Amino acid sequence: MGNTVMKVGVQREDPLLRIRQRAEAFIRELELEPPPSPALGWSCSYVPQELILAAGLTPVRIPTHLEEAREQTQSYLPPNLCPYVHRLLQAGLSGGLSHLQGTVLVASCDPMRRLADIWELYSRPGFLYRLEMPRREDRPAMEFFLRVLKDFRLSLQDLTGRRIRAEDLRGAVTVLNRTRRIMRELDLLRAMPRSAITSAQLQRIALCVESMSRERFNEMGAAFLARSRKDLLRECRALPGMRQPRLLLAGCVVEDDGLPRLIEDTGGRVVADSLCSGMRHFRGQVEENAASPLEAVAARYLHRLKCPRMVGRGERVRSLVSQARESCSEGVVLHTLTFCDLHQMEVPAQQEALLGANIPCLHLEREHLSGEDSGQLRTRVQAFAELLSRRNRGLSVAATNADRNWNG
């Protein structure tokens, strides 16, 4: 009798639930980590974090997911400007960044340039560095970017009173390369036929990574993977694939887990992303054995991130289609923020290429960074997920009928 009860208990146990509970516990540990000190704020993935780390500072993404930026910031910025820029300014004006030694802002677009002007005047930033970024990837652009990084290195040395040596930079490269490897391995767990972690969980991990000591994350992340890897793979292989349509989420910054969670709650499943606040930020490694570590850092940031601010739209669009195919995504969600012209201009070419590849896509334009506008979005995402599910069922029926006709 006791054995029977034990067997029933085993049968009722949900391995997937246990896996995600383990991941949730890991995230809670990350979220409880104390803020690093000393730290330097940044807002764009083009900021070369290796130099900040080599200077003895921890690079911390300026938090915007807790800010309600509208009325106050409209006194400084036009209302028809990128909501991410509004929230960054709100973070600067709120006084909540006093723990930072300063801020690095990239001249990635016109609104970010205007933000730097106002930041310097009104937010009392202490140290503020405006990082110029070329739009091309050719040799003259590389030479220009190297001069920018050398100037940035000098500014960091003046701030910290510490000389940044080549070995310091190599050490920082090793640390951040390991962080990127751990994040890409976590991304693989999301992409499995039976997802070991959800996209909302991975987004929360990414937010934690960008606001804590990278060395500490590397220790915790490696321990989590070592403890869980075999169990995750064995248990997920033993389970059938998930029925929710697989989706690729691409586009603008997503500063919390609201959008991935909304997609997953309405019948979809994000298995890959191309977001500057997601896995695009962790794409590519810096060459660790390069003769000049500064040139290696410059090459990684100039060539690997593929933001719409750079030339080469055709290459980016082809890369999006390739990523959708490689991740076995059945649809693509294109996410843009209102008034983000760079990403908005990319959408028609993306839609055309995905249509040509027979990959359905849904364009979501949001005014907010987090989930305040989730009601209307929920309806659209749910309809898209249902459309993909019906499409997949139709393809399965057609394939079954074709097999029967062939065998008959």
pLDDT tens digits, residue range 250-294?
999 988 888 999 999 999 999 999 998 899 999 999 999 999 999
Query: Which spans in 276-312 are helix H?
Result: 293-303
Question: Phi-psi bin for 387: left (phi > 0), alpha (psi -120 to 50), beta?
Answer: alpha
Say how many C-beta atoms besides its own lie within 10 A of residue 193's C-beta: 13
User: What are the structural domain ranges in the chain?
Assistant: 39-167
Q: Please name the fold of domain 39-167.
A: Rossmann fold (3.40.50)
pLDDT < 50 positions in the chain: 1-12, 396-408
Under 8 Å between Cβ of 153 and 294: yes
Residues 300 and 137: their CA atoms lie apart, in Å, by 11
Under 8 Å between Cβ of 406 and 290: no
pLDDT at 398: 37
pLDDT at 400: 39
CA dihedral 92, 96, 102, 108 (to 10 degrees): -40
Give 3-state DSSP helix, strand, coil % of the chain, rounded to 5: 55, 10, 30
Question: 101 — phi, psi (to 5°)?
Answer: -75, -20
Under 8 Å between Cβ of 184 and 65: no
State the pairing for strand pair 127-131/246-251.
Answer: unpaired
State the pairing for strand pair 58-61/39-42.
Answer: parallel
pLDDT at 6: 42
Under 8 Å between Cβ of 168 and 141: no
AA identity, residue 243: R
